[in-house]
Amino acid sequence: MIKHKDIASHSMYHSLESNLNNKFTLTCLLLLFLLPLVLLHLQRRRRQPKNPNLPPGPRGLPIIGNLLQLGPLPHRIFKTLSDAYGPLMHLRLGQLPTIIASSPHTARAILKTHDHKFCSRAPVVALRRLSYGGLGMAFTPNNARWKQARKLSMVELFSAKRTQYFKHVREQEVEALMSTISRARALGPVNLSEAFLCLLNNITCREVFGWRASGEGECARSGFHEMVAEGIALMGGFTAGDFFPTLERPLNALTGAHARIERCFIEFDKFLESELDSRTRQAGPEDDRDDFVSVLLRLQEDPSLDVPLTRDDIKALLMDLFFGGTDTAAATLVWGMTELVRCQRAMRRLQRELREGLGEGEKPVVEENDLERFPYLKQVVKETFRMHPPSVLLIPRECTEDCVIDGYDVRAGTRAFVNVWAIGRDPKTWDDPDEFRPERFENGDIDYKGQHFELLPFGAGRRVCPAVTLGEAIVKLALANVVRRFDWEPPEGTRREDVDTEEAFGLIVHKKSPLLLVARTPSY
């Protein structure tokens, strides 16, 4: 007969044996994943020149390199490291040799001097999948398809003529935003983060498809907003497979990144297919619509194109429009209002310019034709871009040929980030860089369209954002109307200087918490 003590001992033995087996299994799996990385690391070291003159940078750990140093806000970590190691810094992020440019001089080297060698996009997993394998314009490698997509975008989608054509759309949607704020303010603080995102989604949907994302006359969230937000979140992050390309599939399968990206892609692709099918069925000689979908479908029939425009090409371009067109301007508007409410002096000066320039209530809204009359508005927008560039590290590039920058060797295959956030906070370029001071742009010498490397919110060179003029018009128009129509204060109990500026990192850096402000009728 077996005693209770024997049963307990037997049970403990099997429990211990099971734990040991589980630990052994996990150890074996870990070794299985790490062994290829170790072998690749050793092989790469044997192939590399004995003494490459790499840019300075912190030493990394075996296998993972400097990954543990990234933190939740990489642009701030990169600036701190660059302050110690210099404006051109070398890191190893997993398997990826990486350089960080953190000064106007080194940014110029990558974006202009060696632009032809850094013109290709780094193969980031989410960007590659959501751009239909590297189609479209924003995330495509440097090839014939990208050159054609860029040409079509510049000539057909973002030309001055096309921007002017949609002026009435932007003005109508800003009026809808004003009505929404007027209703919402009676209930308490207004969520401007939500309001601006809805504004941009409505404008983008009307320009692309000809319909609004919100209900008629409203500026409110819908299911469409959630779909776009998920895509933007995925495109702004890195997966484990991005840092270890040779193990991309198993790592992203284990972490769930692959499944999440695939779900988003399938949902968005289904939506785009439905829209294109609907538009194709409605097409005919009497269809005179001139939104972006109509333009692209007409171009698809153009036999003079160097590269045929496929259905996937069109869907990838539409992805670019949504992911690049909504978040950038919405984030800029939130940051602009955040800084203005924190700096009462700047807010009052801008309100005085807008209210005196158009008269107190003589015109219900500021129109785009009025914007050139407001120089301080332009300075506020520039200062917002300096302190809060939407894409703080720009979209990563990949070096395709060996080159030398400032005497340092940069090898083909190196990933390159331009830290435009650090450039905008560089005390060598800007006095009191952490202070919101729009007056620093009074002389108008510095602009943000890619010619001045001190201010690069939209990049420069071949990869400069082609929609700068369109984005600029939306930001100025919305900001002018919101500031002119209402007086803005923090919620009760919050001082102006205590309105937080904490960031949430991504492809576009947003304010981490929603911007809630009290809107009051102006006293004039």
384 vs 138 pLDDT, higher one: 384
Both tokens assigned to 161: 């003529």
- The Cα angle at residue 350 between residues 345 and 356, in degrees rounded to 5: 120
Residue 60: other Cβ atoms inside 10 A: 17
In the sheet where 88-93 sits, what is the strand order? 88-93, 96-101, 415-418, 397-398, 120-121
Q: How far apart are the C-alpha atoms of 148 and 161, rounded to whole Å?
A: 20
Q: For 343-388, what is each residue's pLDDT tens digit?
A: 999 999 999 999 998 876 667 889 999 999 999 999 999 999 999 9
Rounded to whole angstroms, the Cα distance separating 474 from 332 reads 10
Which pair of tokens denotes residue 24? 């052994």
pLDDT winner (highest mean) among 201-215, 313-327, 507-521:
507-521
What values do phi and psi take at 354, rounded to 5?
A: -70, -40
Provide CB contacts within 8 A for 141, sequence distance 6+. 120, 121, 123, 134
First to last CA, the chain: 96
- pLDDT tens, position by position, 247-300: 999 999 999 999 999 999 999 999 999 999 988 887 766 666 788 999 999 899
Percent of the chain clearing pLDDT 70 (strictly above): 87
Beta-bridged to residue 418, according to DSSP, are 101
The CATH code that applies to domain 144-520 is 1.10.630.10
Comparing CA positions, the residue from 55, 42, 45 lying closest to residue 91 is 55
- Of 139-143, 177-181, 188-192, the one with minimum mean pLDDT is 139-143
The DSSP H or E segment spanning 348 is helix 344-358
Is 465 marked within a binding site?
yes
Report the pLDDT value the prediction gives residue 364, as an integer from 0 to 100.
82
pLDDT at 290: 82
Q: Where are the domains of the chain?
A: 144-520
| 386 burial level (CB within 10 Å; 0-12, 13-18, 19+) | buried
- Gap between the Cα atoms of 384 and 390, Å rounded: 10
